[in-house]
DNA sequence: CGCTCCTGTGTTTTT
DNA sequence: CACAGGAGCG
């Protein structure tokens, strides 16, 4: 399947240095590609041999240094493209690096086959050596969902109570062990309670089941490779020679398995360059070990440590605010970021009554920045981002932006490939490629409904097991022997015949894989199933299926596509319209925006209560790093906000401002006054209505009562606020009283049942009227609440007031 | 076997 | 509150 060749690579490894130099030298570019590097970056680029730790703070040109380093390796002839092992965490990062290396050298670097994510590289390696861990090289890669379903089966099979042994949780535990590179035998049993012992037993069974299925999960990709390297010195040595240089991006995010894998590969030549920032380690919860970066110098004695500290991204105030927050963490390697950029605007801080008002304010702020405000240049929506702690916070913003028609894009939202219909379709593809894929079979036996329920599936499973064959074969036997009769039996027979036919088509390549895929979805009745479905989301699902088919165009065959999907998580269908980005703080790492909004800075939400409960001080420090990551995404304007009340699980809860707010250095922060004060707003206690709209942080500000941290919550300001806030019911005459900008004079002249048109959502029917808000069931966009002034009766589309 | 209603549970974060 | 998964009925 993969089209790399061992031979090339090993040939290259035996090549003399002079040959290399001749081959790689591109004298014309040599002068250019290092231009514009600062001394630290240049050092990082030029220190090619031996271990190097590059500590690169946020916005210090890390990727530039890293890509230039690759270019330098190539140009000096130290390595050919396929001799550089270069690992990243995300496909996006890998892609960007490829692009940038290509740009530096003024051409696309063909090759660089070993620039990729840990996972994609390990898949390639493991396909070559699968037999060493009892797998066939065409193993399938299970996603989280498959993993959990498998685990559930094992739990049920061993007669355990699913409630007491939640499959999800066990899968999580096993993942954690795999992250630490523990095979079932290696899990420490010293402190093993009953639970752990059961878990280890299930882990063992799970692994053997995976072997039977010829499948691996994400964790296995690394774990198996580590095992292979440890057990087979010869193979390890091959690769040590093969990969002459090793580069690692985001080293602070590596887990133990990844660390071991890297150490094994680099242990002979020690040409390893790790780039990272301990202050941006935010993946501890999924096994990342900040310790890896902290002990690099111990692992590789004599390592060159290079600090990139000049920040090119943010203004002084933003950088200082971020530094002030992160200073609260202990055990840092320590960096002092500096910038020669302008002072810029202070970090802006604003409190709101509740989450909805926060969203409303942010929406208005975005619109006014888009127009250009306070003498500032207009800012494109593409240059603004809202970064939230938890994805559920996105909802308030989406709701609001839909209402006011502000275009937005959610990054890393519900993933395309995780959607129900996509996963179903993929299961069909998987079966067409390999009939042995039992999990795929289970997924679609009865989708669309074929009258095959639990009972039928069990019969098939029994049949398969007792004959030692796959489920598809088991099903075939069930039909032949009449073990499943009647309506279900007939349908099953048809399914099996269909599967055979589709498989033939894949093997014979009689049609293009795209035609095969379309036909498959048609003939199986899957498309029909959604066409007959009258629920609102059915149309969208059909759209997604179309998109899936379109995605196939980028691949030569179904196999290649499935491989890609298993590993690729990001699916950004770029459209050209300018949009505000909404994403989690985690998703924002590595990105930058001129204007950044950081809402929801409230204790419990951010820092997250759960994080603190589960990991105590360690958890809090990770949250603080998250705050640091958030602030440092901003180039020019950074706005932090919080709300006094928030709905949690449908319950109103009053919130405390985040402790991180107290850690922002006063001199870099400006406290804004909410637009409509109602008897003294949160961020402006003690101020009168006609006070200046912004005031610098001062003693009278309730939030910044400089009490010791322990009694922040007993501070007079806090108490005052608590007394005032009896929940949002307290603002029953809200909108008018606060003089907000909603135009209530535009009372709707619509009646229920009217056909209407909206610029963004298209046509729909009015189903509900609440003052100036209309509930509309849109044909395409589903039901929404929209302010009446954005609506016109159908037929007057040209009059939409935008 | 499939559908509906009900209950319980959970919202970090993702390769 | 919203969604998933289970129980119970048709």
- Lowest mean pLDDT of A47-51, A90-94, A417-421, A494-498, name the range: A417-421
Tokens of A440: 């795929």
Read off the pLDDT band of A733 (50, 70, 90): very low
Is the confidence at residue A478, as pLDDT, over 70?
yes
The answer to whether the beta carbons of residues A646 and A655 sit under 8 Å apart is yes
| Buried b or exposed e, range A50-86, using 16+ CB within 10 angstroms | ebbbbbbbbbbbbbbbbbbbbbbbbbbbbbbbbbbbb
Residue A650, CB, less than 7 Å from strand C?
A: yes
Mean pLDDT of A386-400: 90
DSSP string for A48-74: -SS-EEEEE-TTS-HHHHHHHHHHHHH
- Which nucleotide is nearest, taking the CA of residue A648 and each C1'? C1
Residue A62 annotated in active site: yes
Round and report the angstrom distance from CA (A161) to C1' (B10). 20
Residue A633 annotated in active site: yes
On strand C, nucleotides with any atom < 7 Å from a protein CB are 1-2, 6
- Which nucleotide is nearest, taking the CA of residue A222 and each C1'? B15
Residue A162, CB, less than 7 Å from strand C?
A: yes
Round and report the angstrom distance from CA (A82) to C1' (B13). 34
Read off the pLDDT band of A146 (50, 70, 90): confident
Over residues A247-290, the pLDDT tens digits come to: 999 999 999 999 999 999 999 999 999 999 999 999 988 888 88
Q: How far is CA A158 from CA A189, A480, A586, in A?
A: 21, 30, 38
Cα A285 to chain center, whole Å? 14
Give the start-end residues of each E strand in A253-338.
272-276, 304-308
Residue A738 annotated in active site: no
pLDDT at A771: 57
Residue A249 annotated in active site: yes
pLDDT at A19: 43
Is the confidence at residue A709, as pLDDT, over 90?
no
Over residues A735-775, the pLDDT tens digits come to: 222 222 223 233 346 777 778 776 656 677 777 665 555 66
- Could you tell me the pTM of the whole model? 0.76
Bind-site residues of A for ATP: 56-63
Tokens of A146: 């498959």
Nearest CA to A505 out of A493, A517, A523 is that of: A517
């Amino acid at each position: 399947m993969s089209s790399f060749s061992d031979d090339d690579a090993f040939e290259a490894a035996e090549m003399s240095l002079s040959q290399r130099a001749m081959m790689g030298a591109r004298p014309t570019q040599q002068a250019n590609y290092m231009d514009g590097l600062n001394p630290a970056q240049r050092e990082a680029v030029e220190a090619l041999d031996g271990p190097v730790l590059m500590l690169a703070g946020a916005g210090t040109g890390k990727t530039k240094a890293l890509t230039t380093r690759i270019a330098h390796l190539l140009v000096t002839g130290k390595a050919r493209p396929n001799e550089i092992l270069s690992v990243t965490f995300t496909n996006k990062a890998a892609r960007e690096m490829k692009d940038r290396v290509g740009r530096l050298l003024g051409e696309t670097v063909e090759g660089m086959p070993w620039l990729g994510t840990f996972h994609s590289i390990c898949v390639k390696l493991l396909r070559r050596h699968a037999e060493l861990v009892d797998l066939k090289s065409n193993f399938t890669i299970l996603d989280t969902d498959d993993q959990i379903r498998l685990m559930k089966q094992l739990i049920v099979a061993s007669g355990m109570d699913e409630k007491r042994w939640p499959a999800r949780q066990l899968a999580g535990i096993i993942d954690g062990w795999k992250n630490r590179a523990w095979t079932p035998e290696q899990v420490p049993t010293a402190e093993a309670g009953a639970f752990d012992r059961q878990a280890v037993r299930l882990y063992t069974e799970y692994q053997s089941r995976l072997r039977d299925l010829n499948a691996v999960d994400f964790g296995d990709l690394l774990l198996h490779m580590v095992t292979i390297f440890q057990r087979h010195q010869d193979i390890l040595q091959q690769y040590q020679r093969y990969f002459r240089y090793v580069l690692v991006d985001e080293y602070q995010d590596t887990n133990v398995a990844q660390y071991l894998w890297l150490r094994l590969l680099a242990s002979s030549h020690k040409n390893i360059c790790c780039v990272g920032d301990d202050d941006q380690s935010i993946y501890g919860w999924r096994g990342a070990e900040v310790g890896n970066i902290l002990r690099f110098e111990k692992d590789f004695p004599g390592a060159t440590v290079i600090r990139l500290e000049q920040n090119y991204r943010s203004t002084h105030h933003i950088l200082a605010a971020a530094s002030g927050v992160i200073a609260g963490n202990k055990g840092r390697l320590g960096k002092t970021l500096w910038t020669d950029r302008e002072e810029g605007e202070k970090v802006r801080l604003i409190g709101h009554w509740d989450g909805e008002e926060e969203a409303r304010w942010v929406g208005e702020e975005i619109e006014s920045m888009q127009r250009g405000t306070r003498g500032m240049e207009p800012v494109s929506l593409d240059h603004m981002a809202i970064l939230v702690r938890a994805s559920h916070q996105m909802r308030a913003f989406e709701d609001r932006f839909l209402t006011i028609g502000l275009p937005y894009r959610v990054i890393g939202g519900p993933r395309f490939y995780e959607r129900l219909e996509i996963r179903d379709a993929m299961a069909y593809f998987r079966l067409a490629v390999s009939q042995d894929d039992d999990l795929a079979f289970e997924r679609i036996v009865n989708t669309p409904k074929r009258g095959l329920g639990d009972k039928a599936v069990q019969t098939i499973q029994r049949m398969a097991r007792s004959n030692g064959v796959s489920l598809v074969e088991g099903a075939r036997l069930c039909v032949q022997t009449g073990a499943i009769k009647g309506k279900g039996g007939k349908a099953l027979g048809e399914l099996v015949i269909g599967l055979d036919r589709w498989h033939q088509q894949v093997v014979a390549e009689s049609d293009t894989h795209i035609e095969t895929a379309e036909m498959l979805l048609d003939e199986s009745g899957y498309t029909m199933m959604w066409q007959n479905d009258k629920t609102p989301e059915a149309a969208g699902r059909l759209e997604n299926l179309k998109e899936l088919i379109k995605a196939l165009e980028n691949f030569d065959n179904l196999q290649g596509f499935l491989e890609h999907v298993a590993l690729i998580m990001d699916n950004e269908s770029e459209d050209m319209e300018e949009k505000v980005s909404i994403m989690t703080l985690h998703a924002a790492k590595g990105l930058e925006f001129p204007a950044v909004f950081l809402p929801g800075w409230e204790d419990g939400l951010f820092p997250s209560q759960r994080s603190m409960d589960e990991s105590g001080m360690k958890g809090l420090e990770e949250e603080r790093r998250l705050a640091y990551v958030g602030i440092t995404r901003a180039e020019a304007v950074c706005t932090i906000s919080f709300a006094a009340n928030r709905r949690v699980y449908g319950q109103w809860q009053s919130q405390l401002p985040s402790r991180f707010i107290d850690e922002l250095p006063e001199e870099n922060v400006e406290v804004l006054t909410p637009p409509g004060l109602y008897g003294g707003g949160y961020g402006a206690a003690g101020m009168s209505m006609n006070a200046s709209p912004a005031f610098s942080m001062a003693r009278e500000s309730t939030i910044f009562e400089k009490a010791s941290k322990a009694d922040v919550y007993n501070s007079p300001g806090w108490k005052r606020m608590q007394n005032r806030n009896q929940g949002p019911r307290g603002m029953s005459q809200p909108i008018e009283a606060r003089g907000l900008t909603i135009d209530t004079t535009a009372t709707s002249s619509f009646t229920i049942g009217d056909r209407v048109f909206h610029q963004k959502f298209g046509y729909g029917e009015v189903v509900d009227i609440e003052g100036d808000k209309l509930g509309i069931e849109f044909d395409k966009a589903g039901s929404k609440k929209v302010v009446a002034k954005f609506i016109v009766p159908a037929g007057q589309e040209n009059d939409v007031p935008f």
